[in-house]
Homo-oligomer: A and B are copies of this chain.
Amino acid sequence: MGSNESVTVVEETTRHTLRARLRELVASTEVGKSLPSERDLSARWGVARMTIRRAVDALVAEGLVERRHGSGTYVTPQPFVRLLGLTSFSQDMRDRGLEPGARLLAYRVAPADAAISTQLHISAGDPVVSFTRLRLGSGEAMAVETVWIPQALVPGINGSDLGGSLYELLSSRYRISPGAANVSIEPVLPDERVRELLTISENQACLRIRMVDSDARGNIIMIANCFYRGDKYQLTAQVSGGAFSAEQSRNS
């Protein structure tokens, strides 16, 4: 098992190194300029061109870089074109090649008021842990989130646990695995407080995302209210066939 792991680590490292080297290359390349050709990189780094291509594919998927058939691979003007997975902020940041972070702004345990208890499906007055965090990507403010969780689900939690991914904390310490989420998305102009936290101008729109997370059995775990910087977040979605069927069938 030990040797097995070390092999894995080496491979992982190799793979990460390739992508990381490519990322560095992108970072050190002027926006709008082209990278060295795939064949060039392949020869220079001693790996097959297909391997280079797959690494480039990853950066293309992240929107860091853009291919032009017959011409070259170019550094994209604005790297923020990347989706929000809607699931985990930390994961999303890592996918973008940024270091996820969080700054705790408020933390409290209090009896649930009517609105919160209704949404969490608990009794009014039951203790609820709530906190507000500024979410960071490599130090830059990306979002402000406020989360409410029934205290019964997370005994012993405290503010110092909240420097990283909430999902990872819930999963590893409390064996709680979010199974589904209901998400509501709305464009808003944030108030001054949020605007200052996010360091955005007063005519920069945001996405307000409200989320209700459930576990695999449908029990509600938490609710969240988040403000995402509009200039950093473009949601992307793929709507597949079935969605159109209602309309189609109406014709027949």
Contact = CB atoms under 8 A, between A and B. Distances in A.
Interface of A: 61-64, 79, 81-83, 85-88, 90-91, 165, 167-168, 171-172, 177-189, 203-207, 216, 230, 233-244, 246-248, 250-251
B205 A240 contact: no
B240 A62 contact: yes
A168 B238 contact: no
A235 B185 contact: yes
Cβ-closest 8 pairs across A and B: A187-B187, A187-B205, A187-B230, A205-B205, A185-B235, A183-B237, A181-B239, A186-B234
Contacts of A81: 86, 237-238
A240 B88 contact: no
Nearest to A181: B239
Contacts of A207: 187
A244 B88 contact: yes
Given A237-B81, A243-B82, A206 B187 contact: yes
A251 B94 CA distance: 14
Contact of A239 (B180, B239, B251): B180
A181 B82 CA distance: 11
A74 to B, nearest CB: 13
A251 B79 contact: no
A190 to B, nearest CB: 9
Given A187-B205, A205-B187, A247-B90, A237 B83 contact: yes
Nearest to A185: B235
Given A88-B247, A247-B168, A250-B91, A62 B238 contact: yes
Contacts of A242: 79
